């Protein structure tokens, strides 16, 4: 509440300090702008650091006595403007409070009352902005005169009497009645939001502390549930309900800083840029990046590569007709218990600047979407929406563990959220559409809790097909005893523990040797470096080269073609094709390349192939193909090889006999096999006759 803050003694000294501050800084220009544009422009945002730099005493006053100090600042602004604007209602906002004004919500105490505080918060609820009366106009029922009454602390206050000094009759409120005339009252917009401590600040299983925050003036309506902000405000107390003497705390925000929620908000210095530029030229860059992901987790290079590419992301596109193509890559990890699924997701959620980690089985009540709630003392008895994980993750990355354990309601919401990037809520008479644009990485256990060899592995993913098909990559992680692998993992885990111990006792003798010994656990790049590199590289919008596009097309066509003629086959759909595109774009970004080159497409295809193979459960690609299309790998590669022969002949085409000869010579493919493949390719329209009589075929 800026303009209706309690009236304090305004020290003349403080006013002149403010005046000189404005005059000595670029903020004077802002003051002039307000003078010109008032009331359209009525607020001024000042950087605390600037005040501290010019007049540290003033800065200190501001922290200790914000109400009086800001009132003085407003007066100073009015003084500096034209004479006729003396009573203009100006909002003076201060941002970027110093570190020592930072408090966690849970640490707010009595000593903070009336002081300026700053805390990071996650907005969990917001009620629609309303109008708060600052100065009420009241008409006296006896004499008809309209008198003004100033409101305090958002509490409604009728005039005590029909003020004589406002030409009223002087009757007290007990001998007359007052009627509020809202059109003549002056109001400001206010919005009440509920904030919660950001989850990454939580220790152990502590439940996050909450705080009610009031936004006023142009701040009202700027913050919605799910936003991550730093609230700069003045802590106030309000009396709870009933006779209790216990005070509740609330905060009047004087400014809100949107937190860098996205990669795009991360600032990168020119020096860092130069460093990244150099790193991106390293032919090994992708391997280095992957090996820096969760170094404490042994192996899983492919899974890590997929998760890394998810952060780079594909390019979201809007086509000429206005239709959209998502750039988000979704990943599913299905696996036995104890294979580090949760660990991987957790690591990634820390790496992602706006990562939200949720568990499918969490019983928070808010769930993935949102909950409509109604408390007696919240929103004046009206229903409010509380943002769930998916809404909070909007614009970032969502990590859902134990996906298989989520409720049916969450499941269908997730469906909708992933597909249309928003969810519609009809709860308690509230209709809301909430944005849920995010990349999802989820982990789940298989149907029986652990993979069984007796049943096809793909059939053990206990999720509806429609949801499954949203995932660009599905990894199967099995925990099967294997002497070599077990030893590697065991030694790795032990090394991680040794190194962890050494890091805690780093100044003791002998620790250097341990550090050196366990260097494998140290990432090539730090988390911070990675995050910045990704942010930097995400600025590139890579465009597919024709050769890369061709490669993907071939892969797609080949897999589709193999599905033909099999009754129960499930060939890949255009959805997976788009998955290839997204992954290759992400791969190009990892190299900071403006062009998606064949090697990017190749790697994307390999990643998909790997994920699919794991779906099969064994290294045998045969199973993969059965799952994908019902055709064996041998058949598929034949189709690919034959298609390649025809393609290399170019536009003018090649005769069927020649194809047959080359196929036999080069790849030992029998004549009748080639004939079958050719027929299939012709049927599918992948190739056509250039000259039917001479049997010359060419790619379309």
Which residue of 101, 113, 249, 493 would you call a contact of ligand ADP, by CB under 6 A? Answer: 493
Cα separations in angstroms, 275 against 280, 376, 613? 9, 55, 37
577 binds ligand ADP (CB under 6 A): no
Nearest residue to Mg ion, scored by beta-carbon proximity = 342
**How far apart are the two ends of the chain, measured CA to CA in Å?**
69
Q: Which is nearer to ligand ADP, 416 or 462 (CB)?
A: 462
Q: Which is nearer to Mg ion, 259 or 342 (CB)?
A: 342
Q: How far is the CB of 489 from Mg ion (least distance, A)?
A: 16
Q: Do 25 and 54 meet the contact criterion of CB atoms below 8 Å apart?
A: yes
Q: Which is nearer to ligand ADP, 33 or 488 (CB)?
A: 488
Q: How far is the CB of 218 from Mg ion (least distance, A)?
A: 45
Q: Binders of ligand ADP among 517-536, rule CB under 6 A? A: none
298 contact choice in Mg ion, ligand ADP, none (CB below 5 to 8 Å, kind-dependent): ligand ADP
How crowded is the C-beta side of 70, counted as CA atoms within 13 Å? Answer: 33
Q: How far is the CB of 465 from ligand ADP (least distance, A)?
A: 23
How crowded is the C-beta side of 88, counted as CA atoms within 13 Å? Answer: 28
Angle subtended by helix axes 598-616 and 621-628, to nearest 10: 90
Q: How far is the CB of 623 from ligand ADP (least distance, A)?
A: 23
Q: Which is nearer to ligand ADP, 162 or 521 (CB)?
A: 521
Q: Which is nearer to ligand ADP, 135 or 296 (CB)?
A: 296
55-63 LR contacts (CB < 8 Å, sep 24+): 55/17, 55/20, 55/21, 57/17, 58/14, 58/17, 58/18, 58/21, 61/14, 62/94, 62/116, 63/97, 63/98, 63/101, 63/115, 63/116
Give the Cα separation of 517 and 184 in Å (integer): 77
Q: How far is the CB of 244 from ligand ADP (least distance, A)?
A: 44
Q: Do 62 and 48 meet the contact criterion of CB atoms below 8 Å apart?
A: yes
343 contact choice in Mg ion, ligand ADP, none (CB below 5 to 8 Å, kind-dependent): ligand ADP
Q: How far is the CB of 252 from ligand ADP (least distance, A)?
A: 43
304 binds ligand ADP (CB under 6 A): no
Q: Which is nearer to ligand ADP, 221 or 337 (CB)?
A: 337
Question: What letters, b where the CB count within 10 A reaches 16 and e where it falls short, cover 273-282?
Answer: eebbeebbee
Cis peptide bond prior to 445, omega within 30° of 0: no
Give the Cα separation of 215 and 347 in Å (integer): 35
What single string gives the DSSP state of each residue in 285-345? HHHHHHHHSSTTS-S-HHHHHHHHHHHH----EE-TTS-EE-----EEEEE-TTSSHHHHH
612 contact choice in Mg ion, ligand ADP, none (CB below 5 to 8 Å, kind-dependent): none
Q: With CB under 6 A as the rule, give the number of residues binding ligand ADP.
A: 14
Q: How far is the CB of 67 from ligand ADP (least distance, A)?
A: 50
Q: How far is the CB of 336 from Mg ion (least distance, A)?
A: 10
Q: How far is the CB of 696 from ligand ADP (least distance, A)?
A: 55
Q: Binders of ligand ADP among 332-371, rule CB under 6 A? A: 335, 337-343
**Segment contacting ligand ADP by CB under 6 A, of 145-153, 295-303, 454-462, 523-531:** 295-303
Which residue of 489, 511, 527, 641 would you call a contact of ligand ADP, by CB under 6 A? Answer: 489
**Segment contacting ligand ADP by CB under 6 A, of 195-203, 425-433, 489-497, 506-514:** 489-497
Q: Which is nearer to ligand ADP, 479 or 553 (CB)?
A: 479
297 binds ligand ADP (CB under 6 A): yes
Q: List interacting residues with Mg ion (CB under 5 A).
A: 342
Could you write out the three-class secondary structure of 601-630?
Answer: HHHHHHHHHHHHHHHHCCCCHHHHHHHHCC
Beta strand 130-140 pairing with 247-258? unpaired
Residues 6+ apart with CB under 8 A from 475: 302, 303, 306, 331, 332, 333, 334, 335, 611, 614
Our CA dihedral for 367, 368, 371, 375, rounded to 10 degrees, sits at 50
Q: How far is the CB of 360 from ligand ADP (least distance, A)?
A: 12
291 binds ligand ADP (CB under 6 A): no
Return residues touching ligand ADP (CB under 6 A). Answer: 297-299, 335, 337-343, 489, 492-493
């Amino acid at each position: 509440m800026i303009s209706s803050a309690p009236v304090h003694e305004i020290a003349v000294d403080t006013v002149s300090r403010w005046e000189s501050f404005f005059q000595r800084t670029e903020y004077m220009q802002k003051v002039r702008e307000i003078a010109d544009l008032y009331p359209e422009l009525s607020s001024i945002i000042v950087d605390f650091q600037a005040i501290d730099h010019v007049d540290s005493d003033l800065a200190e006053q501001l922290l200790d006595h914000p109400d009086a100090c800001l009132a003085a600042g407003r007066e100073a602004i009015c003084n500096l403007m034209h004479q006729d604007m003396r009573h203009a209602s100006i909002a003076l906002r201060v941002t970027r409070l110093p570190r020592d004004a930072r408090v966690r919500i849970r640490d707010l105490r009595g000593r903070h009352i009336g002081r300026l505080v700053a805390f990071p918060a996650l907005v969990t609820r917001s009620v629609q902005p309303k109008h708060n009366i600052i100065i009420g106009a009241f008409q006296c029922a006896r004499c008809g005169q309209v008198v003004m009454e100033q409101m305090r602390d958002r509490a409604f206050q009728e005039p005590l009497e029909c003020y004589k000094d406002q030409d009223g009759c002087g009757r007290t409120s007990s001998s007359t009645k007052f009627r509020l005339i809202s059109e003549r009252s002056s109001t400001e917009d206010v919005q009440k939001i509920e904030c919660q401590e950001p989850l990454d600040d939580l220790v152990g299983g502590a439940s996050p502390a909450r705080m009610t925050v009031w936004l006023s003036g142009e701040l009202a309506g700027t913050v919605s549930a799910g936003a991550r902000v730093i609230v700069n405000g003045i802590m106030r107390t309000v009396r709870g309900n009933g006779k209790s003497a216990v005070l509740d705390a609330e905060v009047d925000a004087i400014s809100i800083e949107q937190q860098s929620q996205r990669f795009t908000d991360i600032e990168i210095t020119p020096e860092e840029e130069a460093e990244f530029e150099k790193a991106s030229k390293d032919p090994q860059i992708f391997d280095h990046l992957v090996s820096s992901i969760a170094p404490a987790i042994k192996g899983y290079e492919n899974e890590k590569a997929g998760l890394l590419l998810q952060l780079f992301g594909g390019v979201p596109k809007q086509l000429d007709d206005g239709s959209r193509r998502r750039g988000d890559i979704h990943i599913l990890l299905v696996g036995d218990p104890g294979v580090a699924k949760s660990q991987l997701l957790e690591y990634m959620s820390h790496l992602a600047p706006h990562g939200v980690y949720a568990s499918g089985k969490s019983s928070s009540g808010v769930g993935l979407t949102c909950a409509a709630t109604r408390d007696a003392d919240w929103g004046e008895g009206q229903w409010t929406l509380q943002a769930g994980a998916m809404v909070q993750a909007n614009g970032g990355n969502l990590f859902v563990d134990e996906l298989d354990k989520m409720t049916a309601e969450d499941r269908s919401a997730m469906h909708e959220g992933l597909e249309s990037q928003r969810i519609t809520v009809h709860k308690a008479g509230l209709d809301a559409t909430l944005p849920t644009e995010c990349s999802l990485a989820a982990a789940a256990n298989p149907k029986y809790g652990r993979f069984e060899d007796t049943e096809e592995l793909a059939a053990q993913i206990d999720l509806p097909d429609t949801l499954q098909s949203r995932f660009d990559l599905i990894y199967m992680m099995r925990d099967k005893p294997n002497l070599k692998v077990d030893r590697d993992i065991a030694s790795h885990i032990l090394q991680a523990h040794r190194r962890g111990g050494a890091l805690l006792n780093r100044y003791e003798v002998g620790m250097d040797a341990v550090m050196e010994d366990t260097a494998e656990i140290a990432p090539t790049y730090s988390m911070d470096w990675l995050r910045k590199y990704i942010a930097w590289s995400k600025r590139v919008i890579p465009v597919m080269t024709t050769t890369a596009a061709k490669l993907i097309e071939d892969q797609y066509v080949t897999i589709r073609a193999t599905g033909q003629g099999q009754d129960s086959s499930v060939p890949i759909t255009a959805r997976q094709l788009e998955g290839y595109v997204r992954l290759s774009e992400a791969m190009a970004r990892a190299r900071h390349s403006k062009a998606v080159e064949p090697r990017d497409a190749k790697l994307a295809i390999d990643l998909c192939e790997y994920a699919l193979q794991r779906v099969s459960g064994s290294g045998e690609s045969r199973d993969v193909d059965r799952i994908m299309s019902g055709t064996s790998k041998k058949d598929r590669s034949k189709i690919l090889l034959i298609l390649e022969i025809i393609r290399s002949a170019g536009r003018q085409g090649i005769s069927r006999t020649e194809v047959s000869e080359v196929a036999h010579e080069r790849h030992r493919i029998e004549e009748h096999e080639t004939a079958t493949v050719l027929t299939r390719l012709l049927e599918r329209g992948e190739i056509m006759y250039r000259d039917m009589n001479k049997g010359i075929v060419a790619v379309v």
